[in-house]
């Protein structure tokens, strides 16, 4: 009988899910080489028969799910694997090894695999010799079935639920792809709650636990898992009590979704009647549709990188113009802030850009620094953005700014592009608002002088926190040090907001803090009146704002800024609730 146990990790994306474990890179399955006692022979044969039957059933189910071209391309391999499992030479040889050689099932599989592979290696025909991989795949599937420790009741539940991905790490692109194929949650042995994958998981409402160091050691394929992305716990072989807790969570979640749906067309304002602007972060058409459906005031951060990623050629002006125009039209007249290209050497390999290797891409040629070194590339993007401005209110946001000289160069280039476009007969807006991402500490400190050259500012708390604390937000060993509630971070945020307010320039916060309802009251207390977040967080934050009294929160600001530690800040936060 399987025994319940809990693996502790770090919460990365809230929520709870139940699913079958699917190992991304299964650990090497151990082979028990101990001699088998005679009394256990028939039980071991039965165990192997059960594993073979399970492997055959898996292949049958997989074959039934395939359709069209995929059935033709993959079907022959599945059929070949099924034939191997039915081959008497394989099965009878395995039973003989157990009964006569006193091998345990896993050791018998390994020995039979070695025999068959040796036979394939001796074949002269290269094609037939290459089919030894089929033997490896089949034996591996049976070994995995042997290693599983699930009860019939668990298997019955597992057959009705989706998949929980378990691995060392998972790339953002892979995560986005896998969710379309039944992935309900993610557990990784490494990673950080502030990694790009974790950020994506939160935006997709996909429960995720990172830093679960024991996961690959103790979880095998098809184990039933209950993943709690709020507490950071992974329950392996959950009990009836665990399942009851999960059903209660589902009921509460359904009620919450129903309540939030009522807020879609409500105004965003505090309990004492102060209007707050909620914008959406976006990069795909689906984000725009979701933003409008949730009543976003506009797009506060449109990431243009998706046009450049996963391709070998750079998008030309027409392709970029079409994307930006559709964005503006999709928002139906609401303001749209387009951030210029923010790629570094760590991501450039997936684009048509050749930036070379850098020892520390986070501090390297990226954002406006790349724009200064590739003016033709930058001008192409600016021309496309300016042309899209003819279809609605567009603002241009420049990332990684540190000096006033950078702002001046960008503004001059915008004016040059505007003159060329007008001379070429293009209709564009009469005026362009230029803003800077405040994410480098130098820009935050120099903001009183920089802001005179800007029309608005946007705070990027993800990188700003990383740079202020000298902590790599993707390094799981430093996860506890990456702390948005560090006193230095809060004081810097307050100063940025205060400078913008005094200069009467709009200030929007676009980082992860904006979309986390746990920080909503804190940010209001610091004076923030404009948030930008993934569309999936809009309604939750609107609900949090509706429960806040802004005047009361502003009264706690001094206490918040005087706090000397995270513990002191948390004491003030408790007074805000």
* Contact criterion met (CB below 8 Å) for 188 and 206: no
* Contact criterion met (CB below 8 Å) for 207 and 180: no
Backbone dihedral angles phi then psi of residue 279, each to the nearest 5 degrees = -105, 170
Specify which residues 5 forms β-bridges with.
236
Question: Which burial class, exposed, middle or buried, applies to 427 when counting CB atoms under 10 A from its CB (0-12, 13-18, 19+)?
Answer: exposed
* Contact criterion met (CB below 8 Å) for 80 and 106: no
The rounded distance, in Å, linking the Cα atoms of 182 and 161 is 9
Q: What is the DSSP letter of 577?
A: -
What are the b/e assignments for 256-288, b being 16+ CB within 10 Å? Answer: eeeeeeebeeeebebeeebebbbbbbbbeeebb
The verdict on whether 510 is a catalytic residue reads yes
Per DSSP bridges, beta strands 433-438 and 394-398 are: parallel
**Residue 328: CB atoms within 10 Å:** 24
Q: Distances in Å between the alpha carbon of 34 and those of 30, 49, 105, 454?
A: 12, 20, 11, 74
* Contact criterion met (CB below 8 Å) for 216 and 189: yes
Q: Tokens at residue 437, please?
A: 């991402």
The CA R_g of the chain, rounded to the nearest whole Å, is 28
Q: How many CA atoms lie within 13 A of 237 on its CB side?
A: 14
The rounded distance, in Å, linking the Cα atoms of 230 and 10 is 9
Q: Tokens at residue 527, please?
A: 């004076």
The single residue of 294, 417, 510, 548 carrying the catalytic annotation is 510
Read out DSSP for 229-278? TTTTEEEES--HHHHHHHHHHHHHHHHHHHHHHTTTTS--B-TT--B-EE
The rounded distance, in Å, linking the Cα atoms of 172 and 195 is 9
The verdict on whether 196 is a catalytic residue reads yes
The rounded distance, in Å, linking the Cα atoms of 577 and 568 is 15
What are the b/e assignments for 14-38, b being 16+ CB within 10 Å? Answer: bbbbbbbbbbeebeeeeeeeeebee
The rounded distance, in Å, linking the Cα atoms of 522 and 528 is 9
The single residue of 196, 213, 431, 534 carrying the catalytic annotation is 196
Instruction: Return the beta strands (E) in 189-236 as ranges.
Output: 208-210, 224-228, 233-236
Active-site annotation, residues: 196, 510
């Amino acid at each position: 009988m399987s025994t319940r146990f809990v693996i502790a990790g770090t919460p990365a994306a809230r929520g709870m899910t139940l699913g079958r474990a699917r190992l991304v890179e299964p650990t090497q399955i151990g082979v028990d080489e101990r001699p088998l006692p005679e009394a256990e022979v028939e039980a071991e044969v039965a165990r192997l028969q059960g594993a073979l039957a399970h492997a055959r059933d898996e292949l049958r189910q997989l074959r039934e799910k395939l359709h069209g071209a995929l059935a033709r391309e993959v079907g022959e391999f599945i059929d070949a694997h099924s034939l191997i499992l039915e081959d008497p030479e394989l099965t009878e040889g395995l039973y003989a090894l157990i009964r006569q050689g006193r091998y345990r099932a896993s050791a018998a599989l390994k020995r039979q695999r070695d025999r068959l592979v040796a036979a394939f290696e001796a074949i002269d025909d290269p094609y037939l010799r290459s089919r030894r991989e089929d033997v490896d795949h089949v034996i591996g599937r049976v070994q995995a079935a042997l290693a599983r420790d699930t009860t019939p009741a668990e298997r019955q539940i597992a057959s009705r639920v989706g998949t929980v991905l378990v691995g060392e790490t998972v790339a953002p692109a892979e995560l986005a792809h896998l969710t379309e194929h039944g992935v309900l949650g993610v557990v990784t042995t490494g990673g950080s709650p502030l990694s790009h994958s974790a950020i994506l998981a939160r935006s997709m409402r996909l429960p995720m636990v990172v830093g679960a160091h024991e996961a690959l050691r103790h979880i095998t394929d098809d184990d039933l898992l209950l993943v709690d992305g709020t507490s950071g716990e992974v329950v392996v072989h959950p009990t009836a009590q665990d399942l009851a807790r999960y059903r209660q969570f589902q009921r509460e979640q359904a009620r919450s979704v129903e309540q939030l749906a009522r807020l879609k067309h409500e105004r965003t304002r505090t309990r004492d009647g102060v209007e707050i602007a909620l914008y959406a972060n976006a990069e795909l058409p689906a984000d725009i549709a979701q933003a409008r459906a949730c009543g976003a005031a506009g797009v506060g951060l449109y990431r243009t990188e998706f046009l450049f990623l996963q391709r070998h050629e750079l998008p030309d002006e027409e392709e970029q113009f079409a994307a930006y125009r559709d964005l503006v039209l999709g928002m139906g007249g609401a303001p749209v802030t387009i951030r210029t290209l923010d790629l570094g050497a760590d991501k450039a390999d997936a684009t048509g850009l050749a930036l070379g290797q850098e020892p520390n891409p986070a501090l390297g040629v990226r954002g406006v620094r790349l724009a200064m070194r590739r003016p033709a590339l930058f001008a192409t993007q600016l021309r496309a953005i300016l042309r899209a401005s003819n279809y609605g209110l567009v603002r241009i946001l420049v990332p990684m700014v540190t000096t006033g000289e950078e702002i001046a160069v960008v503004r001059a280039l915008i004016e040059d592009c505007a003159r060329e476009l007008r001379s070429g007969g293009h209709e564009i807006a009469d005026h362009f608002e230029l803003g800077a991402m405040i994410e480098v500490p130098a820009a935050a400190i120099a903001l009183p002088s920089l802001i005179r050259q800007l029309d608005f500012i946007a705070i990027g708390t993800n990188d700003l926190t990383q740079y202020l604390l000298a902590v790599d937000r993707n390094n799981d060993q430093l996860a506890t040090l990456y702390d948005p509630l560090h006193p230095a971070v809060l004081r810097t945020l307050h100063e940025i907001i205060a400078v913008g307010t005094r200069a009467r320039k709009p200030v929007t916060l676009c980082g992860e803090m904006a979309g986390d309802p746990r920080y909503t009251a804190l940010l209001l207390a610091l004076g923030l009146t404009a948030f930008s977040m993934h569309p999936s967080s809009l309604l939750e934050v609107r609900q949090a704002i509706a429960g806040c009294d802004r005047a009361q929160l502003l009264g706690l600001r001094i206490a918040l800024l005087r706090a000397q530690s995270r513990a002191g800040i948390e004491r003030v936060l408790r007074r805000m609730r």
